[in-house]
Amino acid sequence: MDIEAVRAAVRAEGLDGWLFCNFKHRDALSDAIVGVGSGVTNTRWWFLLVPAEGEPVRIVNGVEPAILDGVPGAKRVYSGREALIRELSAFRGLRLGAHWSETVSAVSYLDHGTALLLETAGIRLEAAESLVQRLLGTLDAKGVESHEESARKLYSIVATVWAEIAEGHRTRTPVTEREVQLRILRLFDELGMECDHPPIVAAGPHSGDPHYEPGEDSRRFQEGDVIQLDLWAKARKAGAIYADISWLGVYGAEAPPRVDKAFAELLAARDGALALIRERLASGTQPSGAEVDARAREILIGSGHGSALRHRLGHGIDTECHGSGANLDSVEFPDRRLLVEGSCFSIEPGIYFDDFGLRTEIDVYIRDGQAVVSGGTPQTRLLVCR
């Protein structure tokens, strides 16, 4: 456990401390940060306070007194609920970050009963999503380098795969979604990359499903099909950072006018969101994820696509594809966290119809107060088979 990094996050958020706790490994986030393995017996509550200043305090049950021995600090052993409340009451009046959130469900592990117990002890519980972002959801220089490496490889894979799709179209060789998906996975392996879930390859009406998964009977590409390529991966080594991009093409020599127009309107939303981020950073302020999503949503609604919106604008990226940093979201799980230095996230507006869908995705990170698009030149026109 990196105690100093935890303290730095606490101080940055102006809190008195960060309170971790767990019972039967319900809180995967606490286990991961504190370093309690999933195989360790955890049949009683443990609590760990890391204050902004001073040594940590461990509160453990006498049945499992060694569960936090890997963490430095004072150790308090309790037996029974009343004894636990007495130990927790030592933190009375402190503002402590805890794993709950009104809107960011990904960090909300603290159950209501335990929250009431902590409040009975006089603890003032504060939502921990910003603490989690500062500790796990920002990239240092090494992380940026890892992310850029992943992004560059994904861009190269898109170029390779599309050239093969176009060749299949030219030679009238049948191509299916599943075949292209497997080809991308082979390229991942050749480039030393891994992913938590296979990439999305969706053709025609399947591109209208944001989380479509091609099966063994997947669609054979047909003339005029919109082709969605959505791929995410990272280097196959500890600490590697993901990249996550989506590109769009048409299985034909040119795009139908309706598709071309919708794509241009989608780009306006993507680039408008990026412009807002850069404007705010240039003025010395940081936008929230919710603000950026709202800007893109406003642009798409203005172009008549309000009914075609199905998801948020983007998500944090780190060692997990959907990471611990701020999401660009004002509707699903509204995220008021700021895009702080080191933030890395996707910008991926999508619009979906009965016969096709479109999603363009770039990754951006904040470095030295600048918003940097990773990997290469973002897509500005639909890919076609020429």
State residue 386's pLDDT score.
86
pLDDT tens per residue, range 63-93: 999 999 999 999 999 999 999 999 999 999 9
State residue 293's pLDDT score.
98
| Confidence band of 167 (pLDDT split at 50, 70, 90) | very high
State residue 235's pLDDT score.
98
State residue 218's pLDDT score.
94
Q: Name the percent of the chain lying above pLDDT 70.
A: 100
State residue 1's pLDDT score.
86
Cβ(287)–Cβ(276) below 8 Å: yes
Distance CA 75, CA 65 (A): 9
CATH of domain 138-373: 3.90.230.10
State residue 215's pLDDT score.
85
Residues 6+ apart with CB under 8 A from 14: none
| Number of residues assigned to the chain | 386
pLDDT tens per residue, range 362-373: 999 999 999 999
Backbone angles phi and psi of 267, in degrees to 5 = -60, -35
The chain-wide mean pLDDT, for the chain, equals: 96
* For residue 164, pLDDT beyond 90: yes
Residues 6+ apart with CB under 8 A from 1: 33, 34, 35, 70, 71
pLDDT tens per residue, range 122-131: 999 999 999 9
Residues 6+ apart with CB under 8 A from 252: 169, 223, 224, 225, 384, 385
State residue 216's pLDDT score.
81
State residue 255's pLDDT score.
95
* For residue 217, pLDDT beyond 90: no
State residue 315's pLDDT score.
97
Assign 90 to helix, strand or coil.
helix
pLDDT tens per residue, range 230-282: 999 999 999 999 999 999 999 999 999 999 999 999 999 999 999 999 999 99
Span 345-358, average pLDDT = 97
Which residue did the predictor score with more confidence, 1 or 271? Answer: 271
Distance CA 7, CA 373 (A): 31
pLDDT tens per residue, range 98-136: 999 999 988 999 999 999 999 999 999 999 999 999 999
Classify domain 3-135 at the CATH class level. Answer: alpha beta
Q: Name the percent of the chain lying above pLDDT 90.
A: 98
List C-alpha distances in Å: 142 to 169, 206, 288. Answer: 41, 38, 25
Stretch(es) of the chain classified as CATH 3.90.230.10: 138-373
* For residue 295, pLDDT beyond 90: yes
Stretch(es) of the chain classified as CATH 3.40.350.10: 3-135
Cβ(226)–Cβ(248) below 8 Å: yes
* For residue 308, pLDDT beyond 90: yes
